[in-house]
């Protein structure tokens, strides 16, 4: 590893980068035990469907707090897990929790969807589909209650894309849905949209942030909503923080909204299953 390779290199790092590097190494090291001991958690954020004016979905978001490292945000954790290969373990953990949660609703006689963030790296494994199927089986979760959210972080190679499409299509035929998350923030969103079996798009929070102050953003979102209707896509806005944003998005014809205005992510215990 980097530390043992050369004290000289480390010594030349500034105190600040040394701290960052150390934290990364600690997160990497502690992730194994956290997975083993089940100390990772999942929070759920509601999503409001405009047409029915009700919460129709909860998004599962990973949470990790360590005694020494404090809160480790998903934005820190996920890239490290993608690098050290634990992303599949992390993904399976979140999927198990979230599907168990959805099953509770189902057994209570309420139809509630759950949305699980997934790294496209997980789908590159040919066993991806089968692992998901066995989690659905174990938890008793109906496949049509689950959607997986992908962020377009990078473009897929042609052969990777083919394997992902094949597995996704099989999952879709069982009822699973796919959402393109953080839409508009990456480089490959239109390519993903064109090739992957996606049925919803979630506009990135940066667009919602500037919606009220920037007329171009308004036109862009309005146009994207119209385009989505033509494409038969369900549209979601994330990061909605106030009533003005909410009303404007509704006027524009958005299908669903999510954000602190609707509800913050909370542990499952704090959600009443009706």
Applying CB under 5 A, the residues found at the interface with Mg ion are 117, 149, 181-182, 238
Does 114 sit near ligand C2E (CB under 6 A)?
no
Longest dimension (CA), the chain: 63
Number of residues counted as binding ligand C2E (CB under 6 A): 21
Which residues contact residue 100 at a Cβ distance below 8 angstroms, ignoring those fewer than 6 apart?
139, 141
Q: Interacting stretch for ligand C2E, rule CB under 6 A, among 22-30, 134-142, 220-228, 257-265?
A: 257-265
Distance between CA atoms of 202 and 11, rounded to whole angstroms?
Answer: 44
Does 151 sit near ligand C2E (CB under 6 A)?
yes
Restricting to residues 169-228, which ones interact with ligand C2E according to CB under 6 A?
181-182
At closest approach, how far in Å is the CB of 188 from Mg ion? 15
How many beta carbons lie within 10 A of that of residue 165, not counting itself? 15
At closest approach, how far in Å is the CB of 96 from Mg ion? 18
Query: Do residues 195 and 178 touch, judged by C-beta distance below 8 A?
Result: no
Distance between CA atoms of 194 and 88, rounded to whole angstroms?
Answer: 26
Q: Residue holding tokens 């997980």?
A: 122
Does 88 sit near ligand C2E (CB under 6 A)?
no
Binder among 18, 107, 229, 260 for ligand C2E (CB under 6 A): 260
Q: Which is nearer to ligand C2E, 186 or 259 (CB)?
A: 259
Neighbouring-strand partners of residue 55: 48
At closest approach, how far in Å is the CB of 108 from ligand C2E? 24
At closest approach, how far in Å is the CB of 119 from ligand C2E? 4
Give which of Mg ion, ligand C2E, none residue 88 binds (C-beta under 5 to 8 Å, depending on kind).
none
Q: Which is nearer to Mg ion, 25 or 92 (CB)?
A: 92
At closest approach, how far in Å is the CB of 93 from Mg ion? 16
Q: Interacting stretch for ligand C2E, rule CB under 6 A, among 3-11, 14-22, 26-34, 70-78?
A: 70-78
Tell me which DSSP letter residue 260 carries: T
Binder among 47, 103, 113, 118 for ligand C2E (CB under 6 A): 118
Does 47 sit near ligand C2E (CB under 6 A)?
no
In b/e form, how buried is each residue of 188-209, taking b as 16+ CB within 10 angstroms? bbeebbeebebebbbbbbebbe
Kindly report the CA angle at 91 between 265 and 195, in degrees rounded to 5? Answer: 100
Q: Interacting stretch for ligand C2E, rule CB under 6 A, among 67-75, 138-146, 213-221, 242-250?
A: 67-75
Distance between CA atoms of 87 and 94, rounded to whole angstroms?
Answer: 10
Rounded to the nearest angstrom, the gap between the alpha carbon of residue 138 and the centroid of all alpha carbons in its chain is 22
Q: How far is CA 263 from CA 42, 46, 59, 76, 86, in A?
A: 15, 6, 11, 23, 30
Query: Do residues 21 and 13 touch, judged by C-beta distance below 8 A?
Result: yes
Query: Do residues 123 and 155 touch, judged by C-beta distance below 8 A?
Result: no
Does 89 sit near ligand C2E (CB under 6 A)?
no
Give which of ligand C2E, Mg ion, none residue 73 binds (C-beta under 5 to 8 Å, depending on kind).
ligand C2E
Q: Interacting stretch for ligand C2E, rule CB under 6 A, among 126-134, 192-200, 225-233, 236-244?
A: 236-244
């Amino acid at each position: 590893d980097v530390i043992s390779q050369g004290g000289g290199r480390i010594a030349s790092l500034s105190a600040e980068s040394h701290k960052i590097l150390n934290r990364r190494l600690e997160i990497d090291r502690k992730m194994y035990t956290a997975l083993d001991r089940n100390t990772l958690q999942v929070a759920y954020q509601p999503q409001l469907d405009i047409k029915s004016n009700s919460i129709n979905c909860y998004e599962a978001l990973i949470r990790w707090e360590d005694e020494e490292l404090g809160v480790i945000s998903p934005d820190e954790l996920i890239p490290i897990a993608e690098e050290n290969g634990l992303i599949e373990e992390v993904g399976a953990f979140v999927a198990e929790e979230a599907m168990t949660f959805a099953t509770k609703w189902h057994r209570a006689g309420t139809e509630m969807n759950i949305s699980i963030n997934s790294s496209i790296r997980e789908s590159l494994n040919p066993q991806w589909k089968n692992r998901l199927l066995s989690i659905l089986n174990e938890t008793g979760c109906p496949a049509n209650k689950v959607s997986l959210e992908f962020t377009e972080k990078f473009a897929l190679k042609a052969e990777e894309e083919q394997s992902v499409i094949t597995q996704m299509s099989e999952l879709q035929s069982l009822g699973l849905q796919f959402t393109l998350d953080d839409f508009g923030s990456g480089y490959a969103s239109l390519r993903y949209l064109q090739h992957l079996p996606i049925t919803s798009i979630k506009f990135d929070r940066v667009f919602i942030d500037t919606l009220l102050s920037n007329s171009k953003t308004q036109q862009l979102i309005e146009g994207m909503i119209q385009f989505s209707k033509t494409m038969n896509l369900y549209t979601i806005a994330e990061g909605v923080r106030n009533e003005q944003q909410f009303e404007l998005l509704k006027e524009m014809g958005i299908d669903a909204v999510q954000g602190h205005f609707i509800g913050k992510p909370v542990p499952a215990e704090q959600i009443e299953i009706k």
